[in-house]
């Protein structure tokens, strides 16, 4: 019984991991199969006819996959940089500065977490259209420049930073911005890494907003580029489609593997005061 209790949590986690990873495994398996085996329900990793080279070649030649990936990098990095520049000072002020209305502003931040982008899509689109900014990188990035999730995440992390160190820095002549960026943020790098993973993955995979503001193939990020690819292929060449999906998924998997320790530490730190 004791041995069963020891291994039961691991068994449950293994089953959960299998369910989560199965779609990715199926995607990769389909990308190396021949058209005759696409609908084969077998999960055997070695196909009868290995078509990986042909599928990946068609995925990269029929649509500019490299351009889609570059667009995704530009959009994700642009959003992340501005989000950090705006969220870190706001979170520091809410966590460490005392001023009238601080609690009310924090409640507004928490309330804004409940507002989806779909609720703001129409006024944002109309504003960008009147400013003639559709079909630009700015149009894809602008609605996400201010992240209330980032403010809340950093606020929770900054709360645990010792007030004594901040007071000592003030006595030494440090400005509030120097304390914020040079001391407090440096002590919360795991939270920064965690948010970076959240932000990059969310906007790399975002299809809803780019599909509204972008019609130019040369500006399409990876998910929208795959939609263009599917239109060209009429949904028939599943091997090439899954090869393209595997190509645009690989950077996110690599990003998480490289930052997984900081990611887990950052999520853990937000709950500790």
**pLDDT range class, residue 116, cuts 50, 70, 90:** confident
Task: For the chain, report the end-to-end CA distance as a whole number of angstroms.
Answer: 37
- Mean pLDDT over 217-222 rounds to 90
| Distance, CA of 219 to CA of 214 (rounded, Å) | 7
Identify the pLDDT of residue 273.
Answer: 44
Residue 65: closest CA among 268, 245, 186:
245
User: Over pLDDT 90: what percentage of the chain?
Assistant: 41
| Distance, CA of 17 to CA of 264 (rounded, Å) | 17
This prediction has a pTM of: 0.85
- Mean pLDDT over 167-180 rounds to 92
**Lowest mean pLDDT, pick from 173-177, 219-223, 268-272:** 268-272
Token pair belonging to 132: 């003639």
Dump pLDDT digits (tens) for 185-205.
988 888 898 899 889 999 999
**pLDDT of 234 above 70:** no
**pLDDT range class, residue 219, cuts 50, 70, 90:** very high
Q: How big is the chain, counted in residues?
A: 273
């Amino acid at each position: 019984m004791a041995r069963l209790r020891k291994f039961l949590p691991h068994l449950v986690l293994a089953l959960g991991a299998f369910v989560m990873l199965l779609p990715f495994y199926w995607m990769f398996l389909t990308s190396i199969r021949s058209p005759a085996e696409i609908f084969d329900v077998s999960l055997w990793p070695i196909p009868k006819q290995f078509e990986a080279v042909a599928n990946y070649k068609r995925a990269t030649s029929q649509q500019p996959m490299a351009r889609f990936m570059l667009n995704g990098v530009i959009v994700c990095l642009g959003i992340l940089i501005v989000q950090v520049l705006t969220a870190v000072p706001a979170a520091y002020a809410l966590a460490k500065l005392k001023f009238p209305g601080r609690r009310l502003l924090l409640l507004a931040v928490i309330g804004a977490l409940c507002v989806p982008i779909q609720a703001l899509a129409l006024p944002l689109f109309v504003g960008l259209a009147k400013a003639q900014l559709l079909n630009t990188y700015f149009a894809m990035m602008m609605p996400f420049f201010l992240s209330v999730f980032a403010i809340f995440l950093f606020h929770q992390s900054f709360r645990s930073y010792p007030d004594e160190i901040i007071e000592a820095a003030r006595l030494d002549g440090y400005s509030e911005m120097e304390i914020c960026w040079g001391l407090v943020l440096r002590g919360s790098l795991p939270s920064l890494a965690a948010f970076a993973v959240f932000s990059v993955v969310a906007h790399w995979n975002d299809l809803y907003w780019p599909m509204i503001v972008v019609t130019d193939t040369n500006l399409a990020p990876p998910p929208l580029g795959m939609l263009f690819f599917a239109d060209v292929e009429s949904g028939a060449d599943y091997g090439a489609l899954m090869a393209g999906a595997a190509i645009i998924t690989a950077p996110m998997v690599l990003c998480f593997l490289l930052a997984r320790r900081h990611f887990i530490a950052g999520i853990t730190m937000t709950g500790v005061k």
